[in-house]
Amino acid sequence: NAVVHWFRGDLRVSDNTALHMAYEKTKSKGVSLISLFLVSPEDYEAHIKSPARVDFILRTLEVLREDLDNLNIPLWVEVVEDRKNMGKKVMQLMEKWNASHIFGNMEYEVDELRRDARIVNMALQKNIDFTVVHDSVIAPPGALLTKGTGKPFMVFTPWFKAWVTYLHENPNYLEVFPPPTPNPKETRIYYRDLFDCPIPPCPEGKRLNPKEVEYVRSTWPPGEKEALARLQKFLNEKVMAYKDQRDFPSGNGTSVLSVHFAAGTLSSRTAVNMARELLGNGTLNTGNKGIACWISEVGWREFYRNILVDFPWVCMTKPFKVQYSNIPWQYNDAHFEAWCTGRTGYPIVDAAMRQLASMKYMHNRTRMIVASFLAKDLCLDWRKGERFFMEHLIDGDFASNNGGWGWSSSSGCDPQPYFKIFNPLLQSEKFDPEGDYIRKWVPELKHVKGKAIHAPFDRLDRKEWAKIEALGYPKPIVKHVEAKGRAMEMYKKGLGRE
């Protein structure tokens, strides 16, 4: 007899709501706790999980298995080739293990909600309880609505105010669940076949190439202990200056914890809780600005999850603002290729795209710059960029990525009008003033001095430019001033405002 916890995007033993509930159930029933993870190559394909992300998940499972082993909890990992069979597989395992109750944390994407709804029905027919609970956000979707009209929020700032009030009024939501206490030793005998379950290799098509493996794995160590150590170090050393430093991509002013939030090796409750403790008697309004600002960024993650639930068409390639569905995007393959490979002739854009190619991560400021450049300088469909990010990011997260692309292409939940267009040159001068970020990622420009680094084609003399060109660095593929005009026309046309 057993109770099962199904791990999905929550690969940790501490502060895990469903795992905690499963554990409580085992105590009340006097049975063992078993845990399960399903590897679905078809899902990875359908949901565009990048090789780096899949590799990170599988490496995390190795660590999780060890953490669970210390608690006498087996982790059974099963590959399900056909994702339609997930429910059937779960039911078979439940019967095989003689388990009567399975718990899982909710995933808010439409496909995942449908999957769970199907499995709840299958379980009902077999007299099995399947409990799915909120965990990845602090305020569950639906908890915060606009005053008066009681509608979902569509803009971040008022949502954030409501969220802060919610945190103050519901301190119990910040209660962090301890890890389960160990299963009885007999579990190792009854369920001996489940211990030491092998973790499968990355499915074909989701493997990092041999050149990438070493760098990516040493850059991104997996596991919840690693996540907590990283968080603690950030809070000790950097959070106070976060507000002033976070926008400079060459500095290390941000937490670089997104990979852990995405894999669920860190919960937002734990993160916000630990940051709030640092505020002492201060509040988010009166305390240190760096801490408050960082908490508000974790809030953005949560806000975009709410958007996903309240406006589910964003999961189906529709823009949040449906009136932006008919923008006549250009489909220029050469421009897209130049953007993807970091060869646009705009150094800040190229540096960022090369950071992504190499680290499988990109700084937030440059994510905004390259996304705006794709939609508003190249006039390309933002969904191509959204997809490319998911194909490469190690922290690829549907809600945050979709939200970021919507924001940058003006088709998302941002009250700014479409004609607010980032100027890549001004962004470069403001946020990479010394050009350190550019020099790090674009070696062709390593020896360019002074302000020419931001626009070498325009600012170097012909002889100097010829040297850069000889190294293979391209001229700008579009002129920003002209591109801006084209973008305005394109948006006006799509919105019927010609």
DSSP bridge pairs for 130: 102
Segment contacting ligand FAD (CB under 6 A): 121-129, 205-213, 364-372, 441-449? Answer: 364-372
Find the binder of ligand FAD among 32, 183, 344, 401 (CB under 6 A): 401
The one among 298, 315, 442, 452 contacting ligand FAD by CB under 6 A? 298
Residue of 256, 255, 249, 254 whose CA lies nearest to 435: 249
Q: Which of 179, 264, 290, 396 binds ligand FAD (CB under 6 A)?
A: 396
133 is in an annotated binding site: no
The contacts of residue 296 (CB under 8 Å, 6+ apart) are 160, 284
Candidates 39-47, 63-71, 198-206, 297-305; binding stretch for ligand FAD (CB under 6 A): 297-305
- Closer residue to ligand FAD in complex, CB, 143/256: 256
Sheet holding 129-133, edge to edge: 75-79, 32-39, 2-7, 99-105, 129-133
**Looking at beta carbons only, is 61 or 371 nearer to ligand FAD?**
371
User: Which of these segments, 176-184, 213-221, 257-265, 327-335, binds ligand FAD (CB under 6 A)?
Assistant: 257-265
**Binding span for ligand FAD by CB under 6 A among 99-107, 157-165, 365-373, 448-456:** 365-373
Q: How far is the CB of 269 from ligand FAD (least distance, A)?
A: 13
Find the part of the chain contacting ligand FAD (CB under 6 A) among 204-212, 324-332, 394-402, 433-441.
Answer: 394-402
364 given a catalytic annotation: yes
Residue 254 assigned as binding residue: yes
Rounded to 10 deg, the angle between the 224-237 and 268-278 helix axes is: 30
Residues in the interface with ligand FAD (CB under 6 A) total: 29
- Report yes or no: 304 and 152 within 8 Å, Cβ to Cβ: no
248 CB-near residues (< 8 Å, 6+ apart): 365, 431, 432, 437
Distances (CA, A) of 486 to 23, 217, 343, 489, 491: 59, 42, 21, 5, 9
DSSP 8-class letter at 139? S
Asked if 449 and 346 touch (Cβ cutoff 8 Å), the reply is no
What is the C-alpha to C-alpha distance for residues 336 and 357, in angstroms, rounded to an integer? 15
How far is 460 from 231, CA to CA, in rounded Å? 43
Catalytic residue among 159, 405, 407, 465: 405
Is there a binding annotation on residue 300?
A: yes
Span interacting with ligand FAD, options 53-61, 122-130, 392-400, 433-441, rule CB under 6 A? 392-400
Closest CA to 144 of 164, 115, 125: 164
* Residue 10 CB, nearest approach to ligand FAD (Å): 15
281 within 8 A of 75, measured Cβ to Cβ = no
Asked if 187 interacts with ligand FAD (CB under 6 A), we say no
33, β-bridge pairs:
3
- Least Å distance, CB 368 to ligand FAD, is 4
Query: What stretch of H or E contains 104?
Result: strand 99-105
Task: Tell which one of 324, 339, 373, 389 touches ligand FAD (CB under 6 A).
Answer: 389
According to the annotation, is 297 in a ligand binding site?
yes
| Contact criterion met (CB below 8 Å) for 163 and 12 | no
244 is an annotated ligand-binding site residue: no
CA dihedral 37, 39, 42, 44 (to 10 degrees): 90
**How much of the chain is in helix, strand and coil states, percent to nearest 5?**
55, 5, 35
The verdict on 235 binding ligand FAD (CB under 6 A) reads no
Which residues between 468 and 497 bind ligand FAD (CB under 6 A)? Answer: none
Site for ligand FAD contains 12 (CB under 6 A): no
Q: Which is nearer to ligand FAD, 180 or 342 (CB)?
A: 342
The verdict on 301 binding ligand FAD (CB under 6 A) reads yes
Q: Are 435 and 456 in contact (CB under 8 A)?
A: no
Smallest separation (angstroms) from ligand FAD to the CB of 36? 25
Torsional sign, CA 391, 392, 394, 397:
negative
Residue labelled with tokens 């082993």? 69
C-alpha 175: how far from chain center: 24
Which of 216, 263, 309, 371 touches ligand FAD (CB under 6 A)? Answer: 371
Q: How far is the CB of 256 from ligand FAD (least distance, A)?
A: 4
Q: Which of 6, 382, 441, 465 is catalytic?
A: 382
**In this structure, what token pair is assigned to residue 283?**
């509040």
> In the complex, what is the shortest distance from the CB of residue 473 to ligand FAD, in angstroms, rounded to a whole number?
25
Active site residue 300: yes
Q: Which residues here bind ligand FAD, judged by CB under 6 A?
A: 246, 254-258, 261-262, 297-298, 300-301, 304, 363-364, 367-368, 371, 389, 393, 395-397, 400-401, 403-405, 408
Report, as residue numbers or ranges, the catalytic residues.
297, 300, 329, 364, 382, 405
Q: Which parts are annotated binding residues for FAD?
A: 242, 254-258, 294, 297-304, 395-397
